[in-house]
Amino acid sequence: MFRSTSEGSSGAILEAITDRIQKQGKITFAAFMEMALFHPTGGYYTSPSRVGAEGDYYTSPCAHPVFGALLAIQAEQLWEILRKPNPFFVVEPGAGSGLMARDFLRYSQNLAPSFQQSLRYLALDMASAPVNKASFPNLAQITSKTIPLKDIEGCVLSNELVDCSPVHRFEIRDGRIQEIYVTLQDGQLDEVLGEPSTPLIAERLGSLGVRLTEGYRSEVNLYLASWMKEVSQSLTKGFVITIDYGTEAQDLYSPARSRGTMRSYYKHTEASSPYAHLGEQDMTAHVDFTSLIEEGKKNGLEPLGFVTQREFLMNLGFGSFLKSLKIGRPQLAARDYYAHQMAMMELIKPEGLGSFRVLIQAKGVGQPSLYGLTPGNNKAKELEAKGEELALPPLTPQHTPLMAGRYPHMLWDWGGIGMGETQR
């Protein structure tokens, strides 16, 4: 069990949580996590600059703009499958600073003009930095935790969103499910076991058919049900692309994960307790994609495919962009070439971002074959044929300088020797 002092915690968050516990005696971990991450005064995700070059961690869009470019290529096909609606909505909940949106829209200028004209990109977040509307007329930023739209045609696109939704934690004691609650002990946040706050916890675990041994601890994300309902209600027909880290239930609840997957991160480092640095540290849990798929089906969202991020990006033509970088190498300074190369490869690392999972669901469109799910598709071949004509999206100051952080010496000006000569 975790027990912690309030070290480094936001005063407003700690006060709000302790006040609620004093009134109720104890609260579920899901309620605690909700407040720590999303409280309007000092919650982790209601504060700006948590992600990217200036933030506490980086995500795929922060690594390299080719991520947003490849998503734009996939979205153009979705628009075509929907018979080219105008407007075509791309809704991104949890958009943060809007970096993925900007990369997506920049690259869309290389695609069909009618697609670009039809695009309406809605970036939703509880806290977001303003974007120059003159540069991105198709982009609207909306401060919202929910999707404030109904009956649109398009795509709901999320990256590392579901993993931060509040989870109920439990432990198997004497063969029964006991929920882990957060309480106060000697003035400090502490944990206590009790009867489950809702029968939905046992129902979810029962539906998954997992066998859990004595002492097993893990999490259940009940938010998935309401999330899939909300997403489905926003679409008359269209697609849902969910990119996140997680796995299927049989792996998620395997003996190897007997302590669960809930983690806290503070200043790029895994924290020892979720109860320290409240409002200043992230909390996440692996996504149960089995439940996400099943809840989607209940709401008319049919799964089209479930692949790794590496497979998804490679199917969309990632290799052609990497080849374009190599073709253009003589025109690049060594430090720029290696900065691009490192950032791009980060997206497909099997032991890193490349292991993230991509789930694509559809509503009202049947079972079309999508580029991102199909190796050797015609779009990938078309991009490969472009060779040096394929435009590589430029890195910007908003992208995380991965090479500078790991190998600062590679940014030195070698004056025509050493690194400069490696280009020849």
81-92, pLDDT tens digit by residue?
A: 999 999 999 999
Percentage with pLDDT > 70 across the chain:
90
Work out whether strand 246-247 and strand 287-288 pair parallel, antiparallel, or are unpaired.
Answer: parallel
pLDDT of residue 6: 52
* Domain assignments of the chain as residue spans, ordered by start: 11-42+168-220+246-285, 60-164+228-245+289-411
3-state secondary structure of 173: strand
Query: 339: closest CA among 392, 423, 414, 401?
Result: 401
pLDDT of residue 224: 98
Over residues 350-357, the mean pLDDT reads 97
- Flag whether pLDDT at 56 surpasses 80: no
Give the residue ranges of DSSP H helices in 333-401. 334-346, 378-386
Quote the DSSP letter at residue 213.
Answer: -
Measured CA to CA, the distance from residue 169 to residue 263 in angstroms comes to 12
pLDDT of residue 407: 59
pLDDT band per the 50, 70, 90 thresholds, residue 8: low
pLDDT band per the 50, 70, 90 thresholds, residue 356: very high
Q: Taking the CA of residue 277 as centre, how many other CA atoms within 13 Å lie in the half-sphere pointing to its CB?
A: 15
pLDDT of residue 127: 76
pLDDT band per the 50, 70, 90 thresholds, residue 2: low
3-state secondary structure of 243: strand
Over residues 58-63, the mean pLDDT reads 94
Contacts 24+ apart (CB under 8 A), 18-24: 18/184, 18/189, 21/182, 21/183, 21/184, 21/189, 22/184
Measured CA to CA, the distance from residue 264 to residue 72 in angstroms comes to 32
For residue range 257-271, list pLDDT tens digits in order: 999 999 999 887 888
Enumerate the β-bridge partners of residue 124: 93, 142
Domain 60-164+228-245+289-411 fold is Rossmann fold (3.40.50)
Quote the DSSP letter at residue 288.
Answer: E
pLDDT band per the 50, 70, 90 thresholds, residue 420: very low
Task: Answer whether 299's CB lies under 8 Å from 212's CB.
Answer: no
CB-CB neighbours of 195 under 10 Å: 9
pLDDT of residue 269: 84
Over residues 237-249, the mean pLDDT reads 98
Residue type, 424: R
Instruction: State how far Cα 261 lies from the chain centre.
Output: 16
Over residues 191-217, the mean pLDDT reads 98
Task: Answer whether 160's CB lies under 8 Å from 94's CB.
Answer: yes
Distances in whole angstroms, Cα of residue 172 to Cα of each of 168, 175, 205, 217: 13, 6, 12, 7
Query: 177: closest CA among 148, 142, 206?
Result: 206
Could you tell me where the beta strands, DSSP code E, fall in 164-279? Answer: 168-173, 176-185, 188-194, 217-220, 235-244, 246-247, 263-266, 269-270
- Flag whether pLDDT at 3 surpasses 70: no
pLDDT band per the 50, 70, 90 thresholds, residue 419: very low
Residue type, 248: E
- Flag whether pLDDT at 403 surpasses 90: no
Task: Return left, alpha or beta for 52; rule: phi > 0 is left, psi -120 to 50 is alpha, else beta.
Answer: left
Over residues 1-14, the mean pLDDT reads 64
Could you tell me where the beta strands, DSSP code E, fall in 126-174? Answer: 139-143, 152-159, 168-173
